[in-house]
Amino acid sequence: MKRETMQTYITQNNLNALLDSLIEAGVRVVAPRISAGTPLYEPLSNSAEMVMDQLPRRSAKEAFFPVCEDIMSYKKEGQQVSLTDIDPSRFPETVMVGVRPCDAAAIPVLDAVFSWDYKDEFFLERRRKTTIIGLACTTADDACFCTAVGISPSGTKGSDLFLTPLEDGGYACEAFTEKGEALITGNSLLFSEATSSKSLPIAEPESETFDLKKVKSWLDEHFEDPLWDGIAVRCVGCGACAFVCPACHCFDIVDEGTEKAGKRRKNWDACGFWKFTHHASGHNPRDLQPKRYRNRIMHKFKYYDDKFGQTLCTGCGRCVRICPVGIDIAAIVEEISKK
Amino acid sequence: MDAQKIDTSIYVAVTEAIRNEAERIISEGEVYAIVGYTMGRRKASVQPIIVSDASAAIKLIFTPASLNNLAVYLTKAKKEIPKNGKIGIVVKGCDLKALVGLMGESQLKREELYIIGVPCVGVLASTVQPSRELTSESIAPKCLECDVRMPVGCDFVPNVSLPKKPQIDAKYASEIARLESLTPAERWNYWKEQFSKCIKCYACRQVCPFCFCEQCLCDRNKPQMVETTPRPAGNTAWHIVRAMHLAGRCAGCAECERVCPMDIPLNLLNRKMAKELKELFDYEAGFEVNDKGPLATFADKDDQSFIR
């Protein structure tokens, strides 16, 4: 049964007041802010730092899956070695605000991976403790293609509470989960009844909708195909596309430190790197960039679908904007869908 | 002050000339392929292309969005591009400096290159949409300090005359002067904040024509030379290693800075190194094939004031 959603309204001032009171109460409030000149989702020290009109350069995934995190530490004293685990119960309660639909939609996609056979407590504990406040998009550029992969600029997938900017400067709010409702009921004075003010125009990307079933069935049959060389011979092998992606989730684990003390760390990895599948023997099954780029497309539009029944791309367009050599995933999927 | 428009009308004739020359040299068998620029899907976007069929020469273009330094594709690090004889390449003056450097370092042989030089009035900054008009505001900062608008020593240069260079204030020189005027602690804070954004995607390394090592020191884990994780210590070490390895070699194509998804002003480090090299050794990279760069040789007249 579909649950009835709670609908209400909040002014910009009250939204700021809500965030400030949360920060005051020790909640980690993460929102888009300008960090050394670049828009990023980062913890706020007060609500004035929040910028709602720019898509953060990196996605929202890092609130649960940080760029780098310690997972264990070790110490050696004499012959005595001691290991200390990280205690995930100490992760802070978090509210994430201004999360774009393409970023929010990727969160359930990540949930599936991190709770599949192995339960990743680092990811899952942060997830449990985080409330996602989504924000409808009123701006888009020609790299955006969320609608092409079945997401919408006003899509609420992944959001606990969703804000739609209105003409009067406030937001229509809709709660979809208990976490979202709790935020409203716990701060009911800041919310008021839904108003008659109209929504600001929602920015619809101009791209066509991809036939993802057709794309997948082509991929099922074309592991070897001249297409891969054609699109990726120019790939220079950096990890930028994977690192800005809201859905890419590969990571590496390294031990760093000295003989006496150090840490085991988990950090983002990318299939574009030549070392990604480099075996200890020296053999590399993906020895050239087109084979690595093929993996990126296969993982997003076939392997993930095989396992979890959805697509590993939400059309945010970040990889399209930042690829140093203009590799355009939307153009590639469009090409495949026309085969 | 209003943005000053920059006349890019010569790029139409440049494109035409590149296509004709490419078609000729491929069909006559002079080269087996040409690395150039072509259109992307997004409005006015441009991307690299490798053309090996004369009939595909028509795809080649040159526009203010032709940002890439294509020299990177000719290095041994880019194994995807077959190296079997003479290859053609489209270069701006700044990109040509990288070819010159790579020849000096025995990475490329002049006789295996067919260099198509582009008379260039500038390209767009990476921060603007590729469809933007080229103006004093939208131009890439490196172009404001360009001294090679008309490349020399190429096999072919389209016959067009360059319009006068507009007078626009240089950005790197003033930003370096600003950073030099800070105290070491303030400067450290500036870079600490910038490096904290680094995610170790290594786009800066992968697009650099001079980062052609097949195994980067910073990727090693047995033993680990620098921390590979994107944390303050490893990030800072990476960027210092990168800047030092490029000192006396980097000629300022600014690709590292263009591609950084985190907007770290990497070319400032490279320009600062270049400035030091100029002051200490009266050396500028990229103008002549030189197999002994200033940091690879010792001369009696070298500054030794650091020995105390």
Q: Are B197 and A36 within 8 A, CB to CB?
A: yes
> Do the domain assignments include residue A88?
yes
CA distance B274 to B278: 6
> Do the domain assignments include residue A46?
yes
Q: Are A328 and B42 within 8 A, CB to CB?
A: yes
Same domain, A231 and A113: no
Chain A touched by B238 (CB under 8 Å): no
Which range has the top average pLDDT, A64-68, A254-258, B297-301? A64-68
Same domain, A288 and A254: yes
Select the residue of B80, B199, B221 nearest A233 (Cβ to Cβ). B80
CA distance B59 to B105: 32
Please state the ipTM of this predicted complex.
0.94
Q: Tell me the residue ranges of DSSP E strands in B98-227.
A: 113-117
More confident site: B293 or A303: A303
| Mean of the per-residue pLDDT values of chain A | 95
> Do the domain assignments include residue A203?
no
Q: Report in angstroms the alpha-carbon separations of A238 from A241, A243, B123, B210, B256.
A: 8, 10, 23, 15, 12
Mutate to test the interface with B, among A57, A245, A256 (most CBs of B within 10 A): A256
Same domain, A226 and A82: no
Please state the pTM of the whole predicted model.
0.95
Residue A172's nearest CA partner among A194, A200, A152, A191 is: A194
Parse chain B into domains and list their residue ranges.
10-144, 171-296
Residue B48 structure tokens:
């690299």
Same domain, A44 and A102: yes
Residue B5 structure tokens:
């428009």
A199-223 pLDDT, tens digit per residue, is: 999 999 988 899 999 999 999 999 9
Same domain, A114 and A167: yes
Residue A170's pLDDT is what?
A: 96
Same domain, A163 and A45: yes
Q: Rounded to a whole number, what is the distance in Å from the CA of A2 to chain B's nearest CA?
A: 39
CA distance B6 to A312: 42
Residue A2's pLDDT is what?
A: 56
> Do the domain assignments include residue A177?
yes
Number of domains in chain A: 2
Q: Are B40 and A254 within 8 A, CB to CB?
A: no
Mutate to test the interface with B, among A238, A259, A279, A320 (most CBs of B within 10 A): A238
Residue B122 structure tokens:
């500038």
Interval A92-115 mean pLDDT: 97
Same domain, A217 and A120: no
Residue A1's pLDDT is what?
A: 46
Q: Which residue of A has its CA nearest to B128?
A: A321
Same domain, A270 and A127: no
Q: Rounded to a whole number, what is the distance in Å from the CA of A148 to chain B's nearest CA?
A: 15
∠ at Cα B14 (B8, B20), nearest 5°? 160
Select the residue of A256, A265, A324 nearest B207 (Cβ to Cβ). A324
Please name the helix (run of DSSP H) or strand (run of DSSP E) that holds residue B93, with its range, or none.
helix B93-104
Chain A touched by B200 (CB under 8 Å): yes
Collect all residues of chain B within an 8 Å Cβ-Cβ radius of residue A331: 40-41
Same domain, A157 and A218: no
Task: Name the residue range of residue A284's domain.
Answer: 212-337
Average pLDDT by stretches of 10, chain B with 308 residues: 88 98 97 97 95 97 98 94 92 97 95 97 95 95 94 96 88 94 97 95 97 89 86 93 94 96 96 93 89 85 83
Mutate to test the interface with A, among B47, B188, B229, B236 (most CBs of A within 10 A): B229
Report H helices in chain A: 12-24, 101-114, 121-128, 178-185, 212-221, 226-232, 240-244, 289-298, 304-308, 318-322, 329-337
A173-183 pLDDT, tens digit per residue, is: 999 999 999 99
Collect all residues of chain B within an 8 Å Cβ-Cβ radius of residue A243: 199, 201, 261
A320, pLDDT greater than 80:
yes
Chain A touched by B258 (CB under 8 Å): yes
Chain A touched by B196 (CB under 8 Å): yes
Same domain, A178 and A224: no
Same domain, A59 and A12: yes
With contact defined as beta carbons under 8 Å apart, do B60 and A224 qualify? no
Mutate to test the interface with A, among B53, B201, B218 (most CBs of A within 10 A): B201
| Predicted confidence band of residue A3 (pLDDT cuts 50, 70, 90) | low
> Do the domain assignments include residue A201?
no
Residue corresponding to tokens 């899952």: A124
Collect all residues of chain A within an 8 Å Cβ-Cβ radius of residue B259: 238, 240, 322, 324
Q: Look at residues A133, A156, A190 and tell me which one is the last residue of a structural domain.
A: A190
Residue B23's pLDDT is what?
A: 98
Residue B94's pLDDT is what?
A: 97
Residue B290's pLDDT is what?
A: 83
Same domain, A150 and A34: yes
